[in-house]
Structure 1
Amino acid sequence: MVTMKELSDFPRPKILVSRCLEFDNVRYNGQVIHSQIVRDLEPIVDFIKVCPEVEIGLGVPREPIRIVKEKGNYRLVQPKTGRDVTREMDNFTDNFLSRLEDVDGFIFKSGSPTIGIRNIKVYSGETMAPVVERGSGFFTKKILDKYAGYPMEEDDRLRNYRIRHHFLTQLYTFADFRHVKDSGLSDGILNFNKKNAFLFSFYNDSIYRKMCDLVENARNGTGDDIIPAYETLLKELMQKPGDLESKAAIAQDIISSFDSSMSLPEKEFFKQHLQNYLEMRIDEDALTEVLRLYVHRYDAENLDNYTILYPYPDVLRMPGDSKRDKDYWSENK
């Protein structure tokens, strides 16, 4: 009997998230920010919530703060009150990171001088001063240093389909790898590397070959503990997904593994379907659905080896355009 992958087949990720995203009214103006991805994830992940500005006692509501660069030094100040909270923020961040348990990813509020990831304004002075550069928030900068290579995004960018899909793929891969590390089982890394073969080859085949070499050395007993080196390569591999041609090549590899069982019409259909994908007449989801169909028909017993088709639970797939199926021909439209 063919079965789809269930929610229970996936790990439960741990995510550090900005408290103001869906959870608490802790923004400087007392608001809470809507975030669809946080709402979608909330029932099936473990969130660790943080608002650095509230944690150092700035309160809600509060006067805005900004990053100031003077004589090469960066400070975090509250222009309206003249308060300098640089030391408080540094101390809080260091203490927080020293206590932070293992996490698999991060979702932060964009534009925040403390928790924003990119494009944060840095001013030349406290008031009436121009922006001299842009960078990361005070809190996030240390997160980026300690957790380089981890899935990390801002709420507004996660409205984009491709960014969201890549982030979730990273997130669930890292969560699965955390379980591999925690298990301490010698064959854990071997199984992890095998079941992600198509996915990792799509992301970066040359790096994946290096990962396979590490695993092979461990299998032959010629290598030391490979987890640290393997994890370094995993972070490098998953920084950027492959392109359209790479996805098409992997799709062909998947089909090739059982095409001897396919009928000629099925082969011709897939060939045309793949060409439509390469010509951008259909999207990635359409290609994935056809691949899923063939895998379930011809290789269902090895479903775990197709993480490229099931990188995360289907409940997290981005909804389509709500107006797509709207009846524009009814009398009231």
Structure 2
Amino acid sequence: MWHYAKPIVVVSECLGFSPCRYNGDQLNDEVVHKLAPFVQFIPICPEMRIGLGTPRETIRLVKEDEHVRLVQPSTEMDITEQMNEFSVSFLKQLLEVDGFILKSRSPSCGIKDVKIYSSKKKGPALGKGTGMFAEHVLRMFAHKAVEEEGRLTNFVIREHFLTKLFTLALFREVKQTNSHHRLVEFHAEHKYLFMAYHQQKLKQLGNIVANRVRLPIEEVFLRYEQTLYELSARRSRRNSNINVCQHMIGYFKHELSGEEKRYVHELLEKYRAGKLPLSSVTAVIRSWAIRYQNEYLLKQRYFQPYPEPLLDVTDSGKGRDY
């Protein structure tokens, strides 16, 4: 029923594309594997691209004089400049990109929990930070969908990442048409999804689309895009999702029996308590939209913001929050 644009995703090459890890291994990541038919991947191994072979001696982040350097202890080689130069050069030439999936804990690609040491010699880590390539990604593309493969085993993180990724990709496609009509359609289809993310930003987006001051269409798209980035900066919250569901249930207040109303509100309370996934509630509401032929609700991407084969409620167990 829904058309999904094909997101462009930069991905760490070791995640199923090439045996380029420091030890010559290749990882087979389930999320990356499932995404493959639905996205355009751009595999990249920053360490290989700056001339380090595979297998190779390990590299690490070392803090010296308040500055973090990227070094290879066994050779005492400092590769900070090479990595910085490559990162900036590679990222600047990306004409279009919707997201990144990077290797966790990597001194080049890790977004969080990358160990930082006090010296090139063996010893405990001083703390944790961000890999050098990933740091440039976050500096230049923090507004895009950016995650580590390890964190994507968490249901909530994965749900937000996929929702943001496919929403931004579709907006990119709509923006290329330069059509106000297509933008109006995009906004209408995402009304309840955006309401779940940020009601105030939803209102701002509505005002931008209305274009009462008759701005050039290029400026309208530019303002809409910036506000969309702000709206999608954090995931939707449980109470916001409940509010959205209640709004949609309101469309059927005259059609539903008292028993049906009680049932769906029981589902909402179980979702509120973390005992059911949101999909258990939205599936019921969508069935009513089909039953009563509510075309407006049936067009809402809130029900399925990304392709159905990617829906997976399994979780790593770390920070589970339906």
2:24–2:55: 8 Å Cα contact kept in structure 1? yes
1:258–1:299: 8 Å Cα contact kept in structure 2? no
Say if 2:76 is the partner of 1:82: yes
Amino acid at match of 1:242: S
Question: Per the alignment, do residues 282 and 75 of structure 1 end up closer, same or farther by CA in structure 2, a change over 3 Å counting?
Answer: closer
**1:64 corresponds to:** 58
2:101–2:146: 8 Å Cα contact kept in structure 1? yes
With normalisation by structure 1, the TM-score equals: 0.88
The C-alpha deviation readout for 1:160-194, integer Å capped at 9, x for no partner, is 11111111001110101111211111222222222
Local SS of the residue matching 1:42:
helix
Give the distance between the partners of 1:103 and 1:65, measured in 2 at CA. 28
Note the residue ranges of structure 2 that are not aligned, 5 or more in a row: 316-322
Amino acid at match of 1:121: K
The answer to which of 271-280 and 108-117 deviates more is 271-280
Matching residue within 262, 265, 274 for 2:256: 262
The answer to which of 277-286 and 176-185 deviates more is 277-286
**1:146 corresponds to:** 140
**1:161 corresponds to:** 155
Matching residue within 303, 309, 319 for 1:309: 303
Give the distance between the partners of 1:90 and 1:246, measured in 2 at CA. 40
Amino acid at match of 2:66: G
Give the distance between the partners of 1:303 and 1:196, measured in 2 at CA. 10
1:67–1:121: 8 Å Cα contact kept in structure 2? yes
**2:97 corresponds to:** 103
Displacement of 1:264: 4.1
Note the residue ranges of structure 1 that are not aligned, 5 or more in a row: 322-333
Amino acid at match of 2:173: H
**1:50 corresponds to:** 44
Say if 2:80 is the partner of 1:94: no
Say if 2:215 is the partner of 1:223: yes
**2:164 corresponds to:** 170
2:289–2:295: 8 Å Cα contact kept in structure 1? no
Displacement of 1:304: 5.7
Give the distance between the partners of 2:222 and 2:183, measured in 1 at CA. 12
Question: Per the alignment, do residues 320 and 108 of structure 1 end up closer, same or farther by CA in structure 2, a change over 3 Å counting?
Answer: closer
Matching residue within 217, 228, 236 for 1:234: 228
Give the distance between the partners of 2:298 and 2:178, measured in 1 at CA. 21
Amino acid at match of 1:194: A
With normalisation by structure 2, the TM-score equals: 0.91
Amino acid at match of 2:20: V
Amino acid at match of 1:238: S
**1:23 corresponds to:** 17
Residue identity over aligned pairs, in percent, reads 36
Displacement of 1:129: 4.6
Displacement of 1:44: 1.6
Local SS of the residue matching 1:122:
strand
Displacement of 1:320: 4.8
Displacement of 1:57: 1.1
Number of corresponding residues: 313
Matching residue within 260, 277, 290 for 1:283: 277
Counterparts of 1:201-212 in structure 2, within 5 Å, are: 201-212=195-206
Matching residue within 229, 245, 251 for 2:245: 251
Amino acid at match of 2:62: V
